[in-house]
Chain A
Amino acid sequence: MERRVLVVLPHPDDEAFGISGTLSKYVQEGASVTYACLTLGEMGRNMGFPPFASRVTLPSIRKQELEASCAAIGIRDLRMLGFHDKTVEFDRERLDSCMEELLSELKPTLVITFYPGYSVHPDHDATGASVIESIRKLPEADRPLVYCVAFARGHEEAIGKPDVIHDVRPFVQQKIASITSHRSQFQAVVGEMKLSQQEAEERFGTERFWTYTFA
């Protein structure tokens, strides 16, 4: 059982499709889960349909959606770190120091982040790279387990198949609640969320991770 889980992702909603079932499971098992979310998704392109958000109102809307998603998952410790969407890779010094502070404060037993180089969005890759490099600096015995999420084209050819497969079927309702919390992002697919329990389990019941190996 995991005791202290630290999740580091750059955008509100990055948790929803890939890991919210796993996090719900950890919360129910009694782990303390901290979610460090770097930005408020200020530059997101989805603004609802028809659009109900603007560049000015989007950050506060996405902050509320993030808080609702965390409530659905059961996460009580949400840290919003104040980075600006699309600029994470250009703010690496501040990012590295944030990561080192979080690791030192929380001493997580498990860290979940994006697989650097295989996560498509520059903010995802920069976040993963900073987490990995900050953990690499720790003495080997103190390094937490690291699970990464990857989805770039050709990622399995490069890094193989995921080695951690979680059955999150008992948590699909929490997962769907997490996804639908992000209304400005996923309004277009919310209609698809009216699934039977069996359909939801088939579609959302599995989450996949790569354990990062520090060579």
Chain B
Amino acid sequence: MQTIHPPEIQRMIDGLKDQDLYIHLEMTSGAYAAHRDASRHPAANFISNAVIRYASGSIQGSGPYRVGLKTEKGWIYTEGLTHYEETEKERLIMAGHDGEGKLVVALQLSREPF
């Protein structure tokens, strides 16, 4: 994983628009959040391999970054992105890692299922 370079992410977002895409979208505070600190709330969700299509999208912010994708009838939004997989040229693999390196959010788009 490489720290996010916004122009490169924007090029990939533009290259994936107006087509059916598989999405993996996730956010988690970790299954052990409340075990380690009772004041914390264990919350997580992920949706994997739902099919979406967006007409426009962009990356915003100065890091951690936000991505918004405008779909036909709604929005997909992620905040907290820090890294992307630079070796992936067809798929957009992004994640947000905290100060300890733990994954907090993930947003992935691909023409093929994950």
Contacts and interface: CB of A to CB of B under 8 A. Distances in A.
B35 A45 contact: no
B38 interface: yes
B114 interface: yes
B78 interface: no
A47 B35 contact: no
A50 interface: yes
A54 B30 contact: no
B24 A55 contact: yes
A206 interface: no
A55 B95 CA distance: 8
B14 interface: no
B101 A122 contact: no
A51 B31 contact: no
Nearest to B44: A86
Contacts of B1: 47, 50-54
B85 A45 contact: no
A173 B103 CA distance: 30
Contact of B97 (A44, A51, A188): A51
A49 interface: yes
Contacts of B93: 54-56
Contact of A120 (B35, B100, B102): B35
B12 to A, nearest CB: 14
A43 B101 contact: no
Contact of B95 (A49, A51, A152, A188): A51
A83 B30 CA distance: 19
A45 B38 contact: no
A86 B100 CA distance: 22
A47 B95 contact: yes
Contact of A121 (B24, B32, B101, B106): B32
Contact of B101 (A54, A86, A123, A188): A188
Interface in B91-114: 91, 93, 95, 97, 100-104, 106, 108, 114
B46 interface: yes
B20 interface: no
B46 A43 contact: yes
B85 A54 contact: yes
Contact of B108 (A47, A55, A187): A55
A56 B26 CA distance: 13
Contacts of B97: 47, 50-51
Interface string A28-57: 000000000000000111111111111111
B35 A56 contact: no
Nearest to A120: B35
Contacts of A122: 31
Interface of B: 1, 24, 26, 28, 30-32, 35, 38, 44, 46, 83, 85, 88, 91, 93, 95, 97, 100-104, 106, 108, 114
19 contacts: A43-B28, A43-B44, A44-B103, A47-B103, A50-B97, A51-B101, A54-B106, A55-B108, A56-B85, A56-B88, A56-B93, A56-B114, A57-B85, A120-B32, A120-B35, A121-B31, A121-B32, A153-B35, A188-B101
